[in-house]
Structure 1
Amino acid sequence: MKVVITGAGGFVGCALAQRLMADDTLQLVLVDTQLSQFEGLSDEKLSAGVRLVKGQLQDPAVRHEALKDGADVLFHLAAVPGGAAEANPELSKQVNLDATLALFEEAAEVGNKPRVVFTSTIAVLGAPLPEVVTDDCRIQPAMIYGTHKAMVELALADMSRRSVVDSVAVRLPGIVARPLAPSGLKSAFMSNLFHALKAGDGFISPVSSKATLWLMSVNQCVTNLMHAAQLDSGLMPASRVVTLPALRCTMGELSQAAAAQLKVSPGLVSYEPDADLEEHFGSHPALQTPAAERAGFAHDGSVAQLVCEAVAGLA
């Protein structure tokens, strides 16, 4: 089976690629602007079916190189993230919309109706959110990032309707714990908490202890993406998109659980809320995701398990 992963050098993409490389029956193409994590792969692994394609998706030559052998499954994770997209709407349009749609159209031209797994975002839901978010909630993005993701959701649903691709779009919640590096994500504080506590440092939360979050570990996220690649598309709604199940907890609960797991004092965490940040990233209401659950997607099970997975991933 031929599998292409865009954004393979990113946090989730790298974890997905590493999981898939355990399957020697797959031919993997890993695409990103930097792929340093994979440049040390053995010649045996590379000759066995892992191919690296470095470059920007805006470049037609990069897309051609990625798809030149075809694709049975295309995981599209590459994107300009939320804060960076808001700061540079034109770049977001070039990558998150124009290059993304071109990639899907070029994958469809291969002619084998590839399974396209697209990582969308809860940002398509906008803010403020209703008291309970359900599958029937109207999308009304409040930022460029969410707007472009929502546009791609609609385009993919139409391409599936026309039977040129077989798409599964999943809206991701906050994924933890991301590496401690500039990411362009306004939600990075959810991961930075873990790094600070692991180092025994104080952490100033930009949202209050009562701020509510939707979270998932990267390990569970990868499990859900792999499930999306093989599930019966008949289990998906007509929109071909689901909001993934996520654990809902407060920032205080997350801090307490992380401190307990890392065996440090919860007093290392203090709070200086930013009202705008809390409105968009710390005011998540109750979440009901029956469509995703019927299709076989799941969350981590408990905050304790999510924290355990996140801490394990820090290594």
Structure 2
Amino acid sequence: MNILVTGANGYVGRALAQRLCALPGLPGYGTPATITLCDLTMDEPPADLRVRVVTGSFADPSVLAAITDPAPDLVFHLACVASGRAEEQFELGLQVNLAGSLQLLEHLRRQGKSPGLIFTSSIAVFGAPLPDRVDDDTPTAPALSYGAHKLSMEILLADYTRRGFLRARSVRLPGIVPRPPAPNGAWSAFSSTLIRALTVGEPCTLPVGPQATLWLMSRQCCIDNLLHAAWLAAQPVGDRTAWTLPALRVSVQDIVQAFDERGDGQAGTRVRYAPEPAIEVQFGSQPPLFTPAADAEGFRHDGSLAALLDRAAQTP
């Protein structure tokens, strides 16, 4: 079987590629024959003879043709223009997140293999300000172009799945931490900045206040959930094709206090707060989260803040 990963040089994509190479096979699919990795650049891809690297934008027709030959049996579609950048560069966000993704779907449809497709959606589909709680019945109301792109793709993927063109499963990711410093325009990156800085005892400045509340997940847990979504894509489709993933809800102060307890007690002195209202309302005011549909399907969060920080400390 053939696997395609778009956005394979990103923080999640690199770890997913490594995990795919380490697995003897994927339940419901078998042993990978080729693992095609696509991104604008590719830094140190896995040293595995099954790995094919294609550099360029998946939205480019020539790149799209290359990454779908051989035709994939399973696609992890991670590539996107992130929140802040999509807001500031509207045409680029539209071209990649929506037009490019639709071209990918159409190409897969025409190949006629009905592959499994795992789409990384986002909690940005809920918009801002959020209600007092978010659950499976919370209406989607994107307040950013990025969220609108993600929701549009969820709807299209559900329709392509209904018609048998694909077997798609969309997962709405919370903040995945700790992302490395990168100019990808993600406005939610401050949570990674905080954890990364306190892990090494460095100062940092945050665009939110200490009481800001966040939904977080470690990269390891994220990969576990993506692979679980792939297994679900090999099963008969049920009532849902999109899930809000369970996540730990913690405040910035909770994280700082956890580092104080783990270290020299000086974590609080290393953090400076310079709140930016647009970022705080969109990514720092996250209410209690209830995800019974995802829980019932077997998706999981890290279990505790201590476990998440332990995993974060092990992340290269």
Q: TM-score range with shorter-chain normalisation?
A: over 0.9
Aligned to 1:17: 17
1:28 aligns with 2:30: no
What is the alpha-carbon distance in structure 2 between the residues aligned to residue 258 and residue 95 of structure 1? 38
Contact between 1:180 and 1:195, CA under 8 Å: does it hold in 2? no
Q: What is the Cα deviation at residue 104 of structure 1?
A: 1.4
Contact between 1:237 and 1:291, CA under 8 Å: does it hold in 2? no
Write the letter of the residue equivalent to 2:297. A
Q: Say if 1:263 and 1:167 are closer, same or farther in 2 by CA, change over 3 A.
A: farther
Aligned to 2:299: 297
Contact between 1:197 and 1:259, CA under 8 Å: does it hold in 2? no
* Per-residue CA distance 1:88-110 (angstroms, 9 max, x = gap): 11001100000101101212222
* SS of corresponding position for 2:300: coil
What is the alpha-carbon distance in structure 2 between the residues aligned to residue 261 and residue 147 of structure 1? 40
Aligned to 1:105: 106
Aligned to 2:87: 86
Contact between 2:81 and 2:184, CA under 8 Å: does it hold in 1? no
* Per-residue CA distance 1:248-274 (angstroms, 9 max, x = gap): 011110222244446562221232322
Q: Unaligned regions of 5+ residues in structure 2, if any? A: 25-30
Write the letter of the residue equivalent to 2:286. H
* Per-residue CA distance 1:115-169 (angstroms, 9 max, x = gap): 0100000000001111111111111100000001111110000000101100100
Aligned to 2:152: 151
Give the 5 Å matches for 1:126-137: 126-137=127-138
Identical amino acids, percent of aligned pairs: 45
Aligned to 2:28: none
* SS of corresponding position for 2:79: coil
Aligned to 1:8: 8
Give the 5 Å matches for 1:1-315: 1-23=1-23, 25-26=31-32, 27-38=34-45, 41-42=46-47, 45-46=48-49, 49-231=50-232, 233-234=235-236, 236-238=238-240, 240-261=241-262, 265-266=266-267, 267-313=269-315, 315=316
Contact between 2:59 and 2:104, CA under 8 Å: does it hold in 1? no
What is the alpha-carbon distance in structure 2 between the residues aligned to residue 252 and residue 234 of structure 1? 43
* Per-residue CA distance 1:31-89 (angstroms, 9 max, x = gap): 00110221xx54xx23xx11111111221110110001011110000000000000011
What is the alpha-carbon distance in structure 2 between the residues aligned to residue 261 and residue 22 of structure 1? 32
* SS of corresponding position for 1:153: helix
Q: What is the Cα deviation at residue 2 of structure 1?
A: 0.9
Please identify, of 253-262 and 279-288, the stretch whose mean Cα deviation from structure 2 is larger: 253-262
What is the alpha-carbon distance in structure 1 between the residues aligned to residue 177 and residue 261 of structure 2? 17
Write the letter of the residue equivalent to 1:246. A
* SS of corresponding position for 1:225: helix
Q: Say if 1:259 and 1:226 are closer, same or farther in 2 by CA, change over 3 A.
A: farther
What is the alpha-carbon distance in structure 1 between the residues aligned to residue 261 and residue 64 of structure 2? 45
RMSD of aligned residue pairs (Cα, Å): 1.5
What is the alpha-carbon distance in structure 1 between the residues aligned to residue 39 and residue 262 of structure 2? 34
Aligned to 2:27: none
Q: TM-score, normalised by structure 1?
A: 0.93
Write the letter of the residue equivalent to 1:296. G
Q: Say if 1:258 and 1:63 are closer, same or farther in 2 by CA, change over 3 A.
A: farther
Q: Say if 1:137 and 1:51 are closer, same or farther in 2 by CA, change over 3 A.
A: same
Q: Say if 1:264 and 1:62 are closer, same or farther in 2 by CA, change over 3 A.
A: farther
What is the alpha-carbon distance in structure 1 between the residues aligned to residue 309 and residue 200 of structure 2? 16
What is the alpha-carbon distance in structure 2 between the residues aligned to residue 245 and residue 198 of structure 1? 24
Q: TM-score, normalised by structure 2?
A: 0.93
What is the alpha-carbon distance in structure 2 between the residues aligned to residue 11 and residue 182 of structure 1? 12
Please identify, of 255-264 and 304-313, the stretch whose mean Cα deviation from structure 2 is larger: 255-264
How many correspondences in the alignment? Answer: 307
Q: What is the Cα deviation at residue 112 of structure 1?
A: 1.8
Q: What is the Cα deviation at residue 204 of structure 1?
A: 2.1
Q: What is the Cα deviation at residue 276 of structure 1?
A: 2.0
* SS of corresponding position for 2:36: strand
Q: What is the Cα deviation at residue 235 of structure 1?
A: 6.5
* Per-residue CA distance 1:163-201 (angstroms, 9 max, x = gap): 110010000000000012222100111111122223322
Contact between 1:200 and 1:264, CA under 8 Å: does it hold in 2? no
What is the alpha-carbon distance in structure 2 between the residues aligned to residue 185 and residue 259 of structure 1? 27
Q: Say if 1:13 and 1:261 are closer, same or farther in 2 by CA, change over 3 A.
A: farther
